[in-house]
Chain A
Amino acid sequence: MIDSELSSKLSAYLDGELSEEDSRNVEEILRNNAQARAAFEDLRRTSAAMRGFYDVENDLDEASSSREAEVVERISRASARVVAVRSHRGRRMFLWVGGFLLLATLLVWGLRRLERSRSVGEMLRGVLELMESDHYELSSRTAGESELWQVGPRGRFHLRRVGGAGILHEGFDGRRTWRYVEGDRKVILLSGEAARVVREENPWKRLEAALWAAVDEEGNGETWIAESESGGERETIVLRGPSGKRIELSFDAEGGPAAVTLDGVAYVVTRRPALGDEAFTWETWAPGIPVEEAAR
């Protein structure tokens, strides 16, 4: 009787799965140990018997052999079908992904258009909100056109321009710049250069330029002085140029109106009461104009 370790080694030796050194050891044992030799012989015969058994098991009879072709055919067809389906599924997946991306693109495009086309109601609500909060109004009038410009905190403004082309509204709600022509069903959101022009080329800027030109013939704009004079029930802002020219904008206790006519355009500036006296500073009245508050 041999131990199980040697038995296991004999099995691996039979299969040629031992290292060279282990093989030499086993061969040495086989030479000197009759029991080991007998065990190895039993193992070899068992292995041979098993191979014979499997040979017989796998040796198909005639009927099974003819059936083999059928089964191979069936399996081949099933395999080809699954490859075709996978391939078709791949194409279908590609179409799905493509379709999805197209839809997503259309959705984004539509949303952007929606964002750019606000309803008139929303625009009017914004204007109303501006008018109900602290703000100034500047109206200017020429022969063929009149403008009303309302400006509130954080640079929000609304411009209503009446002229030969109809009534135009433009505005900035602190985030978006828009334009609306009365009678249209949509408000157009502006971006880029168009938005910049609307925000920067407005009546306030024109008044600013006209004031500038009025008090400073050289137009350098750097030496003119504004003085704010509070006296009694009126408050006057005096703009004085280097040559001594001066323009006064005088508000009453209610905040307005201050009127001035420059180059044939009559400007009326009204400070809306909602702002209160404390809120009335040159910076809020004419933001961005370089000025020294000589007297306060």
Chain B
Amino acid sequence: MEPNDATTDDDRDWELFLQADPGDQNAFRELVGRHFRAAIGFCTQVLNDPQLAEDVVQKGFVKLFGARDRYSRQARFRTLLFRVLLRLCINELQRKKVARPFTDLEDEESEPIQSRIKDGRGELPEEEAERKELGEMIRAAVMTLNPKHRAALYLREYEQLAYADVATALDATLSEVKIWIHRGRQAVQQRLRPYLERGERVR
């Protein structure tokens, strides 16, 4: 995405956020729709619970709109959204104590997020099995990290946010963000060591 597009998008986000009238559902629908997937992805990664992620995303938007008089445009809207969502996720994790190491989750019968992954990408069965195995390894490594580190890694790797934006979203310093991302990658790298040594397809 070009910087100008980002600015334009952010202008539109703030316009929708600050001016949406309760009588005009379309404005709310447009803003929520623009950020829904990013928000769900973020919360799912931090919480490892898609159902809870939905609830948190709803709470996040409601919280933002409920206090919109107190917000002014000091950051990108999406960064602000991530910031609110992270706080809510951490509250949920503390409250429900769902932040367990991956080893505890392996035998869980409830549907994990991979149930949402689209099947049948035209891959050979071996390739698909390998992709799933790789995914499980990354997930296992990511789930050993604490929620803020998970969030930092996600915002950098998937959302491609600059460290400064990650720091704003996570209410952290640049140095902390740098360390969290580095440690997160190391943890994943450790898990992927056999693949990396074989030089197999990890892109």
Contacts and interface: CB of A to CB of B under 8 A. Distances in A.
Report which residue of B29, B57, B68 has the largest number of chain A beta carbons within 10 angstroms of its beta carbon: B29
Looking at chain A's contact residues, is the secondary structure mostly helix, strand, loop, or mixed? helix
A71 B44 CA distance: 15
Given A7-B186, A45-B203, A57 B118 contact: no
A88 to B, nearest CB: 9
A74 interface: yes
A82 B157 contact: no
Contacts of B154: 54
Interface of B: 20-22, 25, 28-29, 31-33, 36-37, 40-41, 44-45, 54, 57-58, 61-62, 64-66, 68-69, 113-114, 116-119, 131, 134-135, 138-139, 153-154, 156-158, 162-163, 178-179, 181-182, 185-186, 188-189, 192, 195-196, 202-203
A43 B185 contact: yes
Contacts of B69: 86
Contact of B117 (A17, A59, A68): A59
Nearest to A79: B65
Contacts of A59: 117-118
Interface string A5-47: 0011001100101000000000000000000000000110111
A47 B157 contact: yes
Contacts of B33: 72, 76
Contact of A54 (B29, B45, B118): B45
Given A11-B182, A15-B163, A49-B134, A72 B32 contact: yes
A80 B22 contact: yes
Contacts of A76: 25, 28-29, 31-33
Given A45-B203, A46-B196, A79 B157 contact: no
A22 to B, nearest CB: 12
Contact of B203 (A11, A48, A62, A82): A48
Contacts of B29: 72-73, 76
A8 B182 contact: yes
B37 A42 contact: no
A19 to B, nearest CB: 12
Nearest to A58: B41
A120 B182 CA distance: 89
Contacts of A11: 178, 181-182, 185
Given A7-B186, A12-B182, A43-B189, A81 B116 contact: no
Looking at chain B's contact residues, is the secondary structure mostly helix, strand, loop, or mixed? helix
Nearest to B26: A76
Given A57-B116, A80-B20, 16 more contacts: A7-B186, A42-B196, A43-B189, A46-B192, A47-B157, A49-B188, A50-B157, A57-B135, A59-B118, A61-B117, A61-B118, A75-B36, A77-B25, A79-B61, A79-B62, A86-B66
A45 B196 contact: yes
B185 to A, nearest CB: 6
A87 B68 CA distance: 11
A86 to B, nearest CB: 6
Report which residue of B25, B65, B186, B195 has the largest number of chain A beta carbons within 10 angstroms of its beta carbon: B65
27 contacts: A43-B185, A45-B202, A47-B157, A48-B202, A49-B188, A51-B157, A51-B158, A52-B202, A53-B135, A54-B41, A54-B154, A56-B131, A57-B45, A58-B40, A62-B118, A72-B29, A73-B29, A75-B57, A75-B58, A75-B61, A76-B28, A79-B61, A79-B64, A82-B65, A83-B20, A83-B21, A83-B65
Contacts of B21: 83
Contact of B119 (A12, A61, A82, A87): A61
A54 to B, nearest CB: 4
Q: Nearest 7 CB-CB pairs, A to B?
A: A84-B22, A54-B158, A76-B28, A48-B203, A49-B202, A11-B182, A79-B65
